[in-house]
Structure 1
Amino acid sequence: MNLDFSQIVPYIPFILEGIWATLKFVSVSILMGFILGTLLSLCKITKTPLLKWLADAYTSIFRGTPLILQLMIIYYAVPQLTGYDISAFLSAVLAFGLNSAAYISEIIRGGILAVDKGQTEAAEALGVPYKPMMLNIILPQAFKNILPAMMNEFITLTKESALVSTIGYLDIMRRAQVVGSDLYRNFEPLLFAGLIYWVIVYILTSVGRLVERRLRQSD
């Protein structure tokens, strides 16, 4: 086997810089997805047909089309339609954030529906308005139940983040590709990138298990 990992040693700091680049846009995306997903989930359980239809249509579109297609549309179509030269970072945040919102909305909706109906009935009987009831009673209980699922979404988003290499964003994968083209050796830098992704996911998985264990102990 023609393998020589020593050649990528000088490039290791360059590839490692991709960790920050990756986690930066993934963190912003998951925050955006969480906020928008929360709003969508509330629209899905509302009694207003139009809001429910719009939220369901949004979820159907973003869950029914490939993430890479959404990324390409945002990165290439926005300059064409608006004349605004959108950056790779902003394209990545928008694509991953909007896509993640569709999945997070379903997670939160499930968490809300899992809360005992007696909580809602008791709040309504006490005359608590809808907004304070959701913010102070229902959502806190729902979020506690969905934290493991949210952590899983964060892990999934981190793995899928490698797709942004297709638009030139210098994440872990793109940096490994740059090193490969520079050395004319692709296996070694790509394998190193795979190791980095595995370590990140392992750490996130361990954190998720710790959070889940803490939640079980607090019940």
Structure 2
Amino acid sequence: MNLDFERIIPSIPYILEGIPTTLQVVVVAAIIGFVLGIVLSILKISKIKPLNWLADFYTSIFRGTPLVLQLMLIYFGSPQMLGIQIEAYEAAFLAFGLNSAAYISEIIRGGILAVDKGQREAALALGVSESSMMLNIILPQAIKNILPALMNELISLTKESAVVTIIGLADIMRRAYIVGGQTFKFFEPILVAGLIYYVMIMILTLFGKLLERRMRRSD
């Protein structure tokens, strides 16, 4: 197969230095996506139709177009549309966060609708306000039920973060490309990058399973 990992081994620490960049994008985007996703899910189940339409329109835009397109529009289109250059990190946070919110909102909406309606009726009968009921009763149960789906979204977000290489962020994949250009061996560093992503995903998967078990024991 003509593989030569000996030339790549000295560069592995350099590729590993891209992990913090990848994690930073994933964590910030996940927070943005989760918070905005909750807001969108509430709008989707609102009795006010224009709010339903607004949330559905948002979701259709971000689910109906490629993530890489959204990232490029925000980063490369900002000078022309806004007259300013959005920094690469900020563009990544926005693109991934806004995109993730569209998917998370559907997950949370499904979780909210799956909660027994009797609890909602009981809370209203006891005089609990709509906002308090949603925050303290409905959402905690919904999130517990949809935890596996949320972990899947986080895993997808971690893998998709590799596209930030197109805007120059020195993540894992970008560094693998650079090593490939320096050594004229592209397959080996990309394989190393793939192994790093695989280990990260396995750690996330294990964490998700442990969290899910702990939440089940707390029932």
Question: TM-score if structure 2 supplies the norm length?
Answer: 0.97
Equivalence for 2:188? 188
* Matches of 1:126 and 1:208, distance apart in 2: 35
* Matches of 1:85 and 1:55, distance apart in 2: 28
Equivalence for 1:214? 214
Q: CA deviation at 1:137?
A: 1.1
* Matches of 1:43 and 1:87, distance apart in 2: 30
* Matches of 1:122 and 1:128, distance apart in 2: 9
Equivalence for 2:141? 141
Equivalence for 1:2? 2
Q: CA deviation at 1:213?
A: 2.2
* Matches of 1:140 and 1:217, distance apart in 2: 15
1:180 touches 1:189 (CA, 8 Å); kept in 2?
yes
Equivalence for 1:205? 205
Equivalence for 1:62? 62
Could you report, residue by residue, the CA deviation over 1:15-49 in whole angstroms, capped at 9, with x for unpaired residues? 00111110111100000000000000000001011
Given residue 72 of structure 1, which amino acid in structure 2 is its aligned partner? M
How many residue pairs align between the two structures?
219
- Superposition map of 1:17-96 within 5 A: 17-96=17-96
* Matches of 1:133 and 1:212, distance apart in 2: 24
CA RMSD of aligned residues (A): 1.0
* Matches of 2:102 and 2:211, distance apart in 1: 24
Q: CA deviation at 1:60?
A: 0.7
Q: CA deviation at 1:7?
A: 0.9
1:43 touches 1:51 (CA, 8 Å); kept in 2?
yes
* Matches of 2:82 and 2:215, distance apart in 1: 47
Residue ranges of structure 2 left out of the alignment (5+ in a row): none
1:43 touches 1:55 (CA, 8 Å); kept in 2?
yes
Give the SS at the match of 1:100: helix
Q: CA deviation at 1:8?
A: 1.4
Q: CA deviation at 1:193?
A: 0.3
* Matches of 2:141 and 2:159, distance apart in 1: 29
Equivalence for 1:173? 173
Equivalence for 1:100? 100
Equivalence for 1:151? 151
* Matches of 1:215 and 1:84, distance apart in 2: 45
1:19 touches 1:171 (CA, 8 Å); kept in 2?
yes
Give the SS at the match of 1:2: coil
Residue ranges of structure 1 left out of the alignment (5+ in a row): none
* Matches of 2:47 and 2:95, distance apart in 1: 29
Question: TM-score if structure 1 supplies the norm length?
Answer: 0.97
* Matches of 2:165 and 2:55, distance apart in 1: 30
* Matches of 2:13 and 2:93, distance apart in 1: 24
Give the SS at the match of 1:3: coil
Q: CA deviation at 1:217?
A: 3.1
Q: CA deviation at 1:144?
A: 1.2
Q: CA deviation at 1:210?
A: 1.6
Given residue 23 of structure 2, which amino acid in structure 1 is its aligned partner? L
More moved, 124-133 vs 26-35 = 124-133
1:148 touches 1:211 (CA, 8 Å); kept in 2?
no
